[in-house]
Amino acid sequence: MSWTWFHKWGSPKWFYALAGRLQPWLALAAALLLAVGVVWGLAFAPPDYQQGNSFRIIYIHVPAAMLAQSCYVLMALAGVVSLVWKMKVADIAIHCAAPVGASMTALALLTGAIWGKPTWGAWWVWDARLTSMLILLFLYAGVIALGNAIGNRDSAGKACAVLSIVGVVNIPIIKYSVQWWSTLHQGATFSLTEKPAMPAEMWLPLLFTVLGFYCLFGAVLLARMRLALLQREARSGWAQAAVRQALGGGLAP
Amino acid sequence: MKFASFAQFIAMGHHGPFVWSAYAIGTVVVIWNVAAPWLARRRYLQQEARRLRRERQA
């Protein structure tokens, strides 16, 4: 088996070009999916028979919460790659994914609180799902703070990789918290093995916004990683050429 | 359309403040996510443009 596909990931120049090609398509897909999903979910999906219209918060809450967890798993995988193969792209991925994941966790917590008030009668309860999600926010904050606190880039990368890997133990706790402990929070909306418990006109818009959030995450992560690559590789020829090209060639020597 | 009028759509059956504040926060988070890397890239390119100009004059 040829490993050239894997070794390509070690090349910042190759990744920069690939990310630049993918990014506009991801951004376009995100815009379309989110526009369809949000309009459908807000105006055309039927109201819930118990929760009325407050259930429409699901179309942001669930995608944000799913993405918050996927983003952390991605950081843990990148952490393994970064520690084992010392790949610069993986190190940058952790650094760039953390703020995006933190914002998604905060969004899931805030929309959850807003949804909890009319549904459970409380903004916040200290149950397993909500508390483990709050811990996820602290883990993200930890990765960001650790990356900023350590001046040496290699040490910072290693520390963030280790924290990402150790913290991933929280992800199954979030996932199964609604089954392991008694909770107010409802179970999973989507599962790989069962049909959703809601009618298609309710879960289809959710599928659109979930996919839209993932595409948005891809586009935003690639944008952050491309800039980080340009800055870290500022002394190499390809990065200087890319900067000159972005500046429109007007400043080319 | 599941709502009879625009006013009913805004009211969301007494859940208006909850639904709309959740979507407002969602919009803010999405805009921040898109704008932050875009602004950072612009700032970096402006800074590099200044540096290149200085180097050419020197």
Reported as a single tens digit per residue, the pLDDT across A225-252 is: 999 999 999 899 899 999 998 888 555 4
Mean pLDDT along residues B26-50: 95
Fold classification of A11-191+199-237 is Four Helix Bundle (Hemerythrin (Met), subunit A) (1.20.120)
| A174 within 8 A of A69, measured Cβ to Cβ | yes
Q: Which of A28, A54, A214, A240 to mutate to test the interface with B (most CBs of B within 10 A)?
A: A54
Closest CB from B9, B33, B56 relative to A253: B56
Give the distance, in angstroms, between the CA of residue A131 and the centroid of all CA atoms in the same chain.
Answer: 19
The confidence score (pLDDT) of residue A119 equals 87
In angstroms, what CA-CA distances link A100 with A242, A251, B29? 25, 33, 9
Q: Does B40 contact chain A (CB < 8 Å)?
A: yes
Closest CB from A111, A216, A231 relative to B22: A111
CB pairs under 8 A between A and B: 96
pLDDT in tens, A179-202: 888 777 887 777 767 777 788 888
CA distance B43 to chain A (A): 11
Q: Which residues, 6+ apart, have CB-to-CB distance to A190 below 8 Å? A: A196, A203, A206, A207, A210
What does the alpha-carbon distance between residue A74 and residue A79 come to, in Å, rounded to a whole number?
8
The confidence score (pLDDT) of residue A48 equals 84
Q: pLDDT below 70 — which residues of chain A?
A: 1, 192, 249-253
The confidence score (pLDDT) of residue A95 equals 94
Closest CB from B3, B12, B25 relative to A111: B25
Q: Which residues, 6+ apart, have CB-to-CB distance to B47 below 8 Å? A: none
**What are the chain A neighbours of B46 within 8 Å (beta carbons)?**
none
